[in-house]
Amino acid sequence: MTRQLTIALDAMGGDHAPGVILDGANIARERHPDLRFLICGDQARIDKALAPYPRLREQVTIRHTDEVVTAEDKPGQALRRGRNSSMALAIEAVREGEAQVAVSAGNTGALMALAKFMLRTMPGIDRPALATLLPSSRGESVMLDLGANVECDERNLVEFAVMGAAFARTALGVPRPTVALLNVGVEELKGHDLVKGAGQTLKQSPLPLEFAGFIEGDGIAEGAVDVIVTDGFTGNVALKTAEGTARMIAGLMKNAFLSSWLARLGYLFARPGLRALQDHLDPNNHNGAVFLGLNGLVVKSHGGANAVGIASAIGVAYDMAADDLGARIAADMETSASQAGETGEVAAS
């Protein structure tokens, strides 16, 4: 029997809140009937959005607030004035142990700032990171950091590797994930000092992961490894470049299929296969970026996600909470540290 899990939902974040958030919660409830929700936001609007879902209603507690963090709020504003917002209440529920994980489709910068401030970074971790699942030719990979830290040092990259591997074990079900550093070439001498230094450390450290060296940008879509580690600047650019390229091609494909009546007919004939392709690339099916390294679990949904996307993000949150990912990361960090200590002693003796 699995233990009872509660997810704290920010009902007011994202482009189509609160309707789509509760539509998504209802899909997630069907997949995980044992799930409970603590829903934070405007009571009247949430009640209205819950009306079509009597069953979901039974598994829901509503925590009312009038306040919201808007898409325009700067992280500093959210910290100063957003402490009673729906976003903050969801994070608070995790801090107080009322929920095991918080999910929000709101302002990323504000969510990062509030989560970091309210939950604090885990002992032994210098900086939290934002990770996500990405589609690849072979299935899915994890990439981090996606922008929590635009400037990183070597220690950060090594910690991202450990946290990313723990997340991959949970999200991909791989017992010993392969991990690589994103670089401009695969040879040891390639890249700047940061990536070369992190590469050396990862190569020499006894970590609960399989370090595969460097990969180049095209290794991401190839699915060359389970976990791609990089600084938040490069990771953010790579993620958005991949998304933008996929969107461009989807647009051009649509034009191709609309270019003649024969082409339209061709689309109909090929539709089942093309649907599978669309599904695989649809960001909604990989929705749910995860803050790793905090004393509590927080999942960020795309602001523009549809109900399926919200359900995916809740699914990621469910898996993380069910697996007690925070405890796994803490254990992995301790193991790495103690093994590194032992190795150090051997080397020194």
Report CA-CA distances (Å) from 111 to 27, 105, 139, 289, 292. 24, 9, 29, 12, 13
- Is residue 262 involved in binding a second copy (CB under 8 A)? yes
Residue from the set 54, 123, 175, 272 that interacts with a second copy by CB under 8 A: 272
Stretch that binds a second copy, among 85-93, 258-266, 298-306, 308-316 (CB under 8 A): 258-266
Q: Which of 2, 33, 123, 268 binds a second copy (CB under 8 A)?
A: 268
Assess 128 for contact with a second copy (CB under 8 A).
no
Q: Which listed residue (121, 200, 259, 343) binds a second copy by CB under 8 A? A: 259
In this structure, what token pair is assigned to residue 293?
Answer: 């390294």
- 186 part of the interface to a second copy, by CB under 8 A: no
Q: How far is CA 110 from CA 36, 77, 85, 320, 335, in A?
A: 25, 8, 11, 22, 33
Task: Determine, following the binding rule CB under 8 A, whether residue 136 of this chain makes contact with a second copy.
Answer: yes
> Binding residue for a second copy (CB under 8 A) from 247, 327, 337, 344?
247
Is 273 a residue that touches a second copy (CB under 8 A)?
yes
Assess 271 for contact with a second copy (CB under 8 A): yes
Q: Give the separation between CA 60 and CA 6, rounded to whole angstroms.
A: 9
Secondary-structure percent of the chain, ordered helix, strand, coil, rounded to 5: 50, 15, 30
Instruction: State yes or no: residue 47 binds a second copy (CB under 8 A).
Output: no
Helix 325-348 with 154-172: angle, nearest 10 deg: 130
Exactly one of 44, 270, 327, 337 binds a second copy (CB under 8 A); that residue is: 270
Pattern 226-245, binding to a second copy, x per CB under 8 A? ----x-xxx-xxxxxxxxxx
220 binds a second copy (CB under 8 A): yes
- Burial string for 66-78 (b: 16+ CB within 10 Å, else e) reads ebbbeeebebebb
Q: DSSP 3-state assignment of 9? A: strand
171 vs 220, beta carbon nearer a second copy: 220
Name which of 69 and 311 has its Cβ closer to a second copy: 69
Residue 44 or 263: which CB sits closer to a second copy?
A: 263
Which residue(s) pair with 103 in the sheet?
9, 299
Among 15, 151, 188, 334, binds a second copy (CB under 8 A): 151
For tokens 């540290």, name the residue.
337
- Contacting a second copy (CB under 8 A), which of 66, 80, 256, 342? 256
Nearest alpha carbon to residue 321 among 1, 76, 46, 4:
4
Report which residue type is found at 17. Answer: A
Report whether 216 contacts 185 (CB < 8 A). Answer: yes
The site for a second copy (CB under 8 A) is made up of: 74, 135-137, 147, 150-151, 182, 184, 189, 191-192, 216-222, 230, 232-234, 236-249, 251-253, 255-260, 262-263, 265-274, 276-277, 280-281
